[in-house]
Amino acid sequence: MAQARSTGAGQVLLGAAGEPSLTAAGDQLLSVYRLSDPALSELPLQRLLDELLDRVTDVLGVDTVAFLLLDAEAGELVARAAKGIEEEVKQGVRIPLGRGFAGRIAAERATIFIPDVDHADVLNPILREVGIRSLLGTPLIVEDQVLGVLHVGTLHPRDFDSTDATLLQLAASRAAPAIAHAQLFEALDREHRSAVGLQRSLLPDSLPALPDADVAARYLPARDEVGGDWYDVLELADGKVGVVIGDVAGHGVRAAALMGQLRTGLRAYALEGHPPGRALALLGTLLQTLRGRGMATVAYAVVDLADGSLTIANAGHPPPLVVGADGTTRMVDVRPAPPLGALPFAQFEEGRDRLEDGDTIALYTDGLVEQRGVPLPESFDRLEAAAAATRGRASAEGLCDALLAEMVPGRMAEDDVAVVALRRVPVPQTLHLRLAAEPGILGGMRRTLRRWLHAHGATEEEMQAITLAAGEACANAIEHAYPPGPASFDMEAEMAGGALTLVVRDHGDWRDPRGQHRGRGLELMQAVMDDVEVRRSGGGTEIVMRRRVGR
Amino acid sequence: MTAQLAQLEMRGDGPVVVAAIAGEVDMSNAADLGSAAANALSVRTTALILDLDRVTYLDSAAIHMIYELRAKLAGRGLKLALVVPPEAPTFTALRLTGVPDAVPTFRTADEARAELGD
């Protein structure tokens, strides 16, 4: 029977080694099995606790069961799951270690029996309110660490014996590792989810809309972990575009956070106008100053959209791939320098190349080409073959998808993968642009129009005059033709018999020139073009301008 | 992200201040450039020179900004001058809208300074 010794105040400590007296061997075995079922350890924490509450209630024939888990930082036990005293969980009852019934169980690592609650030191008022008369509790211990307390109670006085104590300890010994496992898993899952969230928030939410370049990017997180891959596309001054790919060594929140710092750092140097080699050298210096440091590979390419010239520096990245409009493929010739953070004062050589009309450059992280068991040269061959299979006709989006489909089937990557592609849009015979009705689009519109005019033999002076007139017509479409909100308008340019026809068409309501400001715009269009015609209809406004071009 | 089409550099802490713009000025940045130049003036400033020598493109939005700036400065008793050489590509738009007649326009910042008595 119970090996009990009185501890005063109506409490009894039960020896943990108490042998259950197997009066009904079959029932006992079933009880033991129900409390030590190995399937329990596969359940997530909340379901595990709920399941144990039911089984303990049945096996021990008690009215209440409660799990309190230790909040180690606060030094308190927190009610986490309960049956019969559900209020305890709802109210988030907290019991300081060492105090009261549960607090003492955890502090003394002992199974405690209270035959009569009325005469005992019980802190939790809920236990009294419910009318519990007897209590039995045992600590949850894993690898010598107390995780919490499991206790049961009855509404009538009951002499819990050593069999009861042993069964409760059995339930506790089964629950404790599963709880530890589930808590660890929850913590990791929380970390994973916050790392994924952080990673997502640090990548660009949209790429710049450029009328003369088609850009796209993809990011695939690794199957199990969040990495530090990133990409970026930056609209720089003077019609240049920066394309960035990077990969911070390591995984998880730390890698994602460092990635965010490096992405911002490189943006700052790029916008300051530093060429690729210098920008990477500065980024290396920045990395040296960051807490925790780390290493990162980065490639930064600057493309001049006017003539397609490309300058690139590469700190430890696989070589960028160029897919020609004719379907040929090549790797950009740039000597890879060591990763950032590997060598102080590292210098970065710049490689040069040129994107012809319709050529696409793709930068990617090593996750795209590094697969377990596949030799690297073979991966590069497959990458080039997948690119060649697009026959140079794919959009930037299409190329990203084609590369991923070949290299990461099912999109289940072992390491995270980032790809960013930029295609230099060919100069068409007739220019047709659909433009977002926002002022930020004007710079790209002028750049695209200049390139088209240049290809059609316009002189510098003519290009100046025509871009001015186009700028005014587009500004008019943006400023006056729309209610607030996203909208677009169209611009068309056509050259026939040495004469240019330029049409800007919106889908809003024309308003007569308001004040001197807009009046000046119309005045300028009329002054620099041979002919300006404003056609208004219910569906919108069309400004048609003509000018003789070239001698 | 939108490209940074233009840069503004303020020079001089005496009575004559130079606001030098480089790049392109259109409806995406004209108003901001005008306010930034006006806000950088101190109580000691008597004149502002708007240096457009390194501007590669400007349109009616920039011209509107120049007229607004002139009105704002006149209200505070300050003078405005422009720097843009007549052969600059941007001069055409300024000439067509009467800017050089309304705002004293000089070939260089030094000429403007000399005229404004700095």
Report the range of poorest mean pLDDT among A208-217, A362-371, A384-393, B2-11.
Answer: B2-11
Q: Give the helix/strand (H/E) hosting A399.
A: helix A396-407
pLDDT (tens digit per residue) in A95-150: 898 888 999 999 999 999 999 887 677 778 788 888 899 999 999 998 888 999 99
The pLDDT of residue A389 is above 80: yes
**Chain B interface with A: residues with Cβ < 8 Å:** 1-5, 7, 23-24, 26-28, 57, 59-61, 63-64, 67, 89, 92-93, 96-97
Residues of B in contact with A475 (CB under 8 A): 26-27, 59-61
Residues of A in contact with B96 (CB under 8 A): 523-524, 527-528
Identify the closest residue of chain B to A474 by CA–CA distance: B27
Record: contact B59-A471, CB cut-off 8 A: yes
Rounded average pLDDT over A141-167: 91
Q: List per-residue pLDDT tens for chain B, 118 residues long.
A: 455 789 999 998 789 999 999 999 999 999 999 999 999 888 889 999 999 999 999 999 999 999 999 999 999 999 999 999 999 999 999 999 999 999 999 999 999 999 887 5
Alpha-carbon span A6 to B98, nearest angstrom: 106
Residues in chain B: 118
Strand B47-58, strand B16-25: pairing: parallel
Q: Write down the pLDDT at residue A29.
A: 65
Tell me the count of A-B CB pairs closer than 8 A.
77
**DSSP single-letter state for residue A1:** -
Both structure tokens of A20: 């259950």
Both structure tokens of A78: 């927190």
Record: contact B3-A208, CB cut-off 8 A: yes
pLDDT (tens digit per residue) in A336-370: 888 998 888 888 999 999 999 899 999 999 999 98
Q: Write down the pLDDT at residue A71.
A: 87
Rounded average pLDDT over A41-45: 73
Rounded average pLDDT over A495-519: 76
CA distance A139 to chain B (A): 58
CA distance A255 to chain B (A): 25
The pLDDT of residue A23 is above 80: no
Rounded average pLDDT over A518-536: 91
Record: contact A464-B92, CB cut-off 8 A: yes
The pLDDT of residue A8 is above 50: no
Nearest to residue A154, comparing CAs of A51, A84, A230, A73?
A: A84
Q: Residue A1 — very low, low, confident or very high, per pLDDT cuts 50/70/90?
A: very low
Identify the closest residue of chain B to A518 by CA–CA distance: B60
Report the range of poorest mean pLDDT among A222-226, A344-348, A531-535, B94-98.
Answer: A222-226
Alpha-carbon span A317 to A441, nearest angstrom: 32
CA distance B27 to chain A (A): 6
CA distance B72 to chain A (A): 16
